[in-house]
Structure 1
Amino acid sequence: MRTVGIVVEYNPMHNGHLYHLQQSKKCASADAVVAVMSGHFLQRGEPALADKWARTEMALANGVDLVLELPVSYSVQPAEWFAYGSVATLQATGVIDALCFGSEQGDLRPIEQAVAALVKEPIGFARRLREELKSGRSYPAAYACAAGRALIDGATEDSKKGAPLHSAEAAIGTDMDWIAQPNNSLGLHYMLALRRLQSDIEPFTIGRQQAGYHDANVSDHPIASATALRRLWAETGSVQACAPYIPQPTLQILERDTADGRAPMGWDRFVRELLYRLHMLSPEALAQHLEVTEGLEHRIKHALQHLREPSVESLLNELKTKRYTRTKLQRTLTHILLHHDKFHFGPDAIAQGPSYIRVLGFSAQGQMLLKRMKKRAELPVVLSVNRENAGLGGVSGLPADTRATAVYANAFAPWNTRAAFRDYYEAPRRI
């Protein structure tokens, strides 16, 4: 059974995601699809629109065979570590033959050229990255500039050894802005992770169709970005407005969870708890949290004095600068909300990769794949949390995932104490 892996958030699953899923299976000539999916908190530092079990149902109903959870220690991270955790999870299953990701580039060749130059961090790369950051560039833009310089330097060194000098235009261009595009950035880091893990998984990429990652508006085309759909839902107050852009199973699941008070989830459901922590923690305590750097703790304390309303949007408006992207600030606030400190959740702590594989759901074919995985997997396979496995991975492992579930469930309306402990009794979804 040839199997392709994909990395998803499905926030929510829409027609573009369905296209990616179908094309991934086709281009990889795969019989089955395994998705690594973020749990309750996402890479851009946002709470998921619907909980991880609802989004697992969306995935299974639309053709995914096996859904695995990306631990929260990786799901709320910059592209490098989000990608590393995702690829390491797929690698550890022992059953993945291919990886297919979406990209704005739609072509593996320039990504492979960039990987070849960056897989062993070039001399001076870190210094150039720091210089670009000091100049006021955002991290994605700074990384793109430093990467471009590394590629040019690499081509120059090759020419000294007798190889033909490829101009930037002949290779991938002196303009490396393409790396700063969200899906290209993730794709580059997926490929870097495959190389660093010495993986035999074969990579494929599919060009993003119609809507861009950040496109905030829908059109008459049936594919719209998740950003546009969340905005449309918020503006209209009805998930029905999203119906032309999402598969029918997604619509039905969202309607059910909306009726039950479990969707749509957003930052404003967490604002009181977040503001409480920001007020109670000293600047020194804030500085211990992941991604609180360069005096950001003082900027946060100052921003609290100028809030016009108790909303995360208002807080972000006070915090943002040219240097700090909205995504960076949202991730920082998520780390503070979830108690993610630099020691347990920083690069040194997560560099070894995940320590377990959490199964959220499977189809009939996925069940057969799961049987194979249990025999081949390099890590423990977790179907539900219990006394024996509850401590897997230490502070940044399963305990962090169960805490994230509790924090997320505390924002449900109406509140239900049982929902906070779903990791302990919720069986994997089956279709």
Structure 2
Amino acid sequence: MKTVGLVVEYNPLHNGHYYHFQQSKNVSGADAVVAIMSGHFLQRGEPAMVNKWARAEMALRMGVDLVLELPVAYSTQPAEWFAFGAISALDATGVVDFLCFGSESGDIDWLHQVANAQHEESPVFHELLQQELKAGIPYPAAYGRAISRYIPGTDATELAKPNNTLGLHYLIALKRLHSRIEPLTITRQKASYHQTDITDQQIASATALRHMLFEQQKLEDIAPYVPTSTMEVLTREWSKSRAPLGWEHYAKPLLLQLMNHSAAELAEYHEVTEGLEHRIKQSLPSLSTSSNHVVEDLLGLLKTKRYTRTKLQRMLLRILLNHSKPKLSTALIGQGVPYLRVLGFSEQGRELLHCMKKTAKVPVVTKVTSLPKPSPLLELDIQATSVYALGYPAATERDLFRDYFEPPIRI
């Protein structure tokens, strides 16, 4: 059985994702699909609009065979570590033959060229990157410009596009792990990653769909852009007041963390760098806590040319989740995922799980209590579920500790 791996968030799963799913099977010739899916909190430093089990169900009903959770230690990281975590998970299954990712360019050859030059640390490149950062530009732009200087002919503009960036880091991770997985790419269609306007009758970006839901609060408006199964899952979660969730649902617990810690204590959290702890404390007195946009207002006060919104969101998320620097040290996350958490599977996915009993490089977890010894990263996932449930109007004990109660979804 040939298997293709996908790295996804499905926030929410839409027609563009369905196209990617179909094309991934076509170009790889795969019989089965394994998805590594972010849990409750995502790469841009945001809460998912709907919980991880609902999104896993969307994936399975679309045709994915096995959904594995990308631990929160990786799912909210910058591109390099997000990609490393996802690829280490796919590689650890021992059953994935191909990786297929979407990209703006649709051309994998130039990404291979850059990855070949970048998969080993280069002091020369590091110096070029530091020079660009000293100019006060955001990290993604600085990285692209440093690459274009390090590898003449590389288009910094193309490299700065989000899916191309992730694709490059997938390739770097594959090389660093000496993985046998063969990478493939397809061109992203009709809607760009950050595009907030809708220009097609059937395909819109997840960003645009979330914007529509939060602004208009009408679930039916997104129906033309998502599969029927997605609508059914969202309708159920919406009716239970479990969707859509966004940053403002976490304003109070975030403010509690920010106000209860000194600047020195805030500096101990992951992603709090270069004096941002002082900027946070200086900004708090200017916030209007009666506003319906507390987190949005805080981000506006913190924003500078140096820091992207995504960087600041990830920083606030680490504080909300109590992720200190030691908890996410390079030594720890550099080892790759220490377990494979199963969120759901189809009948064919069940066959893959049976194969993984022999091929998996790390324990396969269907119950969080089944690991022979506690994993610090799994504990972070369990804590993330509890924090995520605080966004519900009335979280129950089952909501707060759902990781202990919820078995993998079977389709």
Q: Percent identity?
A: 55
Aligned residue in 2 for 1:380? 363
User: Which whole-Å CA distance do the structure 2 matches of 1:210 and 1:271 have between them?
Assistant: 34
User: Which whole-Å CA distance do the structure 2 matches of 1:348 and 1:378 have between them?
Assistant: 19
User: Which whole-Å CA distance do the structure 2 matches of 1:392 and 1:92 have between them?
Assistant: 19
1:398 aligns with 2:382: no
How far did residue 415 of structure 1 move?
A: 2.1
Q: Does the Cα contact within 8 Å between 1:390 and 1:399 map onto a contact in 2? A: no
Amino acid at match of 1:250: T
Aligned residue in 2 for 1:328? 311
Q: Does the Cα contact within 8 Å between 1:103 and 1:208 map onto a contact in 2? A: yes
Q: Structure 2 matches for 1:18-37, cutoff 5 A?
A: 18-37=18-37
How far did residue 101 of structure 1 move?
A: 0.4
Shift in CA distance, 390/259, structure 1 to aligned 2, threshold 3 Å: farther
TM-score, normalization by structure 1: 0.93
User: Which whole-Å CA distance do the structure 2 matches of 1:65 and 1:281 have between them?
Assistant: 44
Amino acid at match of 2:333: I
User: Which whole-Å CA distance do the structure 2 matches of 1:30 and 1:136 have between them?
Assistant: 45
1:189 aligns with 2:180: no
Q: Does the Cα contact within 8 Å between 1:50 and 1:262 map onto a contact in 2? A: yes
Which of 304, 317, 340 is matched with 2:323 structurally?
A: 340
Q: Does the Cα contact within 8 Å between 2:398 and 2:405 map onto a contact in 1? A: no
Q: Does the Cα contact within 8 Å between 2:128 and 2:150 map onto a contact in 1? A: no
Q: Does the Cα contact within 8 Å between 2:87 and 2:170 map onto a contact in 1? A: yes
1:264 aligns with 2:244: yes
Which of 364, 367, 389 is matched with 2:371 structurally?
A: 389
Aligned residue in 1 for 2:151? 151
How far did residue 29 of structure 1 move?
A: 0.5
Amino acid at match of 1:180: A
User: Which whole-Å CA distance do the structure 2 matches of 1:54 and 1:390 have between them?
Assistant: 28
Aligned residue in 1 for 2:208? 228
How far did residue 391 of structure 1 move?
A: 5.2
Number of residue pairs aligned between Structure 1 and Structure 2 = 408
User: Which whole-Å CA distance do the structure 2 matches of 1:121 and 1:361 have between them?
Assistant: 37
Q: Does the Cα contact within 8 Å between 1:103 and 1:207 map onto a contact in 2? A: yes
1:319 aligns with 2:302: yes
Q: Which moved more, 1:54-63 or 1:304-313?
A: 304-313
Q: Structure 2 matches for 1:110-121, cutoff 5 A?
A: 110-121=110-121
Q: Does the Cα contact within 8 Å between 1:243 and 1:251 map onto a contact in 2? A: yes
Q: Does the Cα contact within 8 Å between 2:190 and 2:200 map onto a contact in 1? A: no
How far did residue 390 of structure 1 move?
A: 8.2
Q: Report the 3-state secondary structure (helix = DSSP H, G, I; strand = E; otherwise coil) of the residue aligned with 1:270.
A: helix
How far did residue 221 of structure 1 move?
A: 2.7
Q: Which moved more, 1:87-96 or 1:114-123?
A: 114-123
User: Which whole-Å CA distance do the structure 2 matches of 1:423 and 1:151 have between them?
Assistant: 46
User: Which whole-Å CA distance do the structure 2 matches of 1:317 and 1:42 have between them?
Assistant: 20
1:212 aligns with 2:192: yes
How far did residue 27 of structure 1 move?
A: 0.4
Any gaps of 5 or more consecutive residues in structure 2?
Answer: none
Q: Does the Cα contact within 8 Å between 1:66 and 1:366 map onto a contact in 2? A: yes
User: Which whole-Å CA distance do the structure 2 matches of 1:206 and 1:120 have between them?
Assistant: 26
Aligned residue in 2 for 1:57? 57
Aligned residue in 2 for 1:296? 276
CA RMSD of aligned residues (A): 1.1
Q: Report the 3-state secondary structure (helix = DSSP H, G, I; strand = E; otherwise coil) of the residue aligned with 1:198.
A: coil
Q: Does the Cα contact within 8 Å between 1:385 and 1:425 map onto a contact in 2? A: no
Deviations 1:188-238 (A, max 9, x none): 000000000001100000110000001001124311000000011112211
Q: Structure 2 matches for 1:63-78, cutoff 5 A?
A: 63-78=63-78
Aligned residue in 2 for 1:160? none
User: Which whole-Å CA distance do the structure 2 matches of 1:220 and 1:352 have between them?
Assistant: 42
User: Which whole-Å CA distance do the structure 1 matches of 2:132 and 2:180 have between them?
Assistant: 34
How far did residue 414 of structure 1 move?
A: 2.6
Q: Does the Cα contact within 8 Å between 1:94 and 1:377 map onto a contact in 2? A: yes
User: Which whole-Å CA distance do the structure 2 matches of 1:98 and 1:258 have between them?
Assistant: 35
Q: Does the Cα contact within 8 Å between 1:406 and 1:419 map onto a contact in 2? A: yes
Amino acid at match of 2:265: A
User: Which whole-Å CA distance do the structure 2 matches of 1:392 and 1:177 have between them?
Assistant: 44
Deviations 1:161-203 (A, max 9, x none): xxxxxxx2xxxx4x31211111111000000000000011000
Q: Report the 3-state secondary structure (helix = DSSP H, G, I; strand = E; otherwise coil) of the residue aligned with 1:305.
A: helix
Amino acid at match of 1:181: K
Q: Which moved more, 1:406-415 or 1:55-64?
A: 406-415
Any gaps of 5 or more consecutive residues in structure 1?
Answer: 153-167
Aligned residue in 2 for 1:6? 6
Q: Report the 3-state secondary structure (helix = DSSP H, G, I; strand = E; otherwise coil) of the residue aligned with 1:69.
A: strand
Aligned residue in 2 for 1:367? 350
Q: Does the Cα contact within 8 Å between 1:41 and 1:72 map onto a contact in 2? A: yes
Q: Does the Cα contact within 8 Å between 1:355 and 1:392 map onto a contact in 2? A: no
Amino acid at match of 1:389: L
Q: Report the 3-state secondary structure (helix = DSSP H, G, I; strand = E; otherwise coil) of the residue aligned with 2:391.
A: coil
How far did residue 133 of structure 1 move?
A: 1.1
Q: Report the 3-state secondary structure (helix = DSSP H, G, I; strand = E; otherwise coil) of the residue aligned with 2:151.
A: helix
User: Which whole-Å CA distance do the structure 1 matches of 2:219 and 2:197 have between them?
Assistant: 15
Amino acid at match of 2:366: L
User: Which whole-Å CA distance do the structure 1 matches of 2:11 and 2:225 have between them?
Assistant: 13
